[in-house]
Structure 1
């Protein structure tokens, strides 16, 4: 199953599905006035179609090959206008997959959002409650359309700043070492670069602070990657777990790891499998860059830092070296500012 935005050329097909499913499953609960209102407000409404074409309304589709099997339309980012799944695909997780896709989009595009709302039909209420939506009031009716206002709280996939700092301090108590201040330097750099790059600086700070949290469990090399991933997943902090993996593999290639590969076969397979599922985003790249310029005593020149790592481990993958320099250039262009000036290299101390 593929999920993506509905193209303009697919809009008619999507609305045909909406009408077909609506008439069979939802219309029986509505009066004639309600059915007419839905058809006129959505199916026959050129303003609705124009909103989809211009992006004011974002309609997402689930596809089985070229066939649209489900749709979900969003207004103002976080209000579900409609959601329908083709009859023969009911109870196969299509609606849930669409919703999860929308949630992921919101988290990436605007992580400040904390709530999704929907005016659910009586028929759809069971589905929305199964996703975690809560009723906001009793059933209402307008123009013959019966609906239940509902809301869903979007869980952040990373802790807040204070909680993250507690997690780091507790980890340092288990395994003291310079990695703690390295992490604080990375957090500082991530926050500053994010501010200049139009990214979420709070999220960037937390990801930078906890990217090495796997070191809590002992003096491991590649093992700290799998330890950190598993630990953060156990706490429900999926975004942090992700950078625990990706910060060490800027090309998603386990062969480029600098250091001892001290993972068990199961841990190695976990790292490979999860990396293959990830498409690196700007937060992954940001933490990779910050890892490459962060020392325990402050911000380092990226070449000096990589040279230090090379001297300690005897080698440094050339492709990883080049990619890190590319990340520096990428974020400098995005910021419109020199990297070391942005992170106050000369003065910052953890």
Structure 2
């Protein structure tokens, strides 16, 4: 194919209809992605829908079946809509890119994020869809979808749930995480997805603010979980670009770090696994920690190097500390030691946090991911 062809415009009907767009998209040659895809996956829904949900691109199952959001991400999406009192039949579902971008590994087809040129090439299809439906609200599921709709880079962690004006001034635009990032279960990312996205969309055109029904505690928790999910996406991108594998050893955080990693994009490609080591015996016998005090920098270092060695990872992070409410080993509640192992060596960090135990765990998880990302960038 001629690499200079990067515009789907010639294939978009001049007088578009929902049915006509879906039919015409099968002939699109606006970029090279059609060559390795089964078919174009355009839309699900009615032109009368008041809410449009825009994803990134089809996945493997969507590509084979020709329908959007039918894989694990689709189930996360459906569950979130049900929580908001919406049915999938009430919304219009589509993707910013219409063909499945992937690479093949044996018999598996591994998702690859679309590049900016793919978003640009496919934009005439999205523009035609939004013109036909003319929705009140457009919900962008992920940074790629947000960029396609808003025409600028989008940071989901900073802008998620914010009510924005669309570039044409007609529709309200809301950004949130990709449901595919949350498809690993009721993890931090999943919990952060549904409380804001669907309720905001449910209220239609708004002048808007985040859902006022949420309590202060819920809003604080949701903000923390959003930040953790955003860090997991950053870690996934960094690990994949550098060809690294990552593991975690947790005591204080009790699996929260590993849950965030497992919910990251393409986790099976870079996330090796974790050991949640509450028991001193597990620390000593499984991870090779030297018997003695456990709320120490040495313990954090040995947890990190131990899990990297055990699981064959090139990078790892560990947490050990005192969640509270009582002191342990002479350390006050909120004391945290983090170990970070990267190819160049292992570093340890002491962090002091305030707040109840559940808040300490959330902030410890966030700080562990931040330090690992910082180390991998150096």
TM-score, normalised with respect to structure 1:
0.28
Rg bigger for which structure? 1
Q: If the length of structure 2 is used for normalisation, what is the TM-score?
A: 0.27
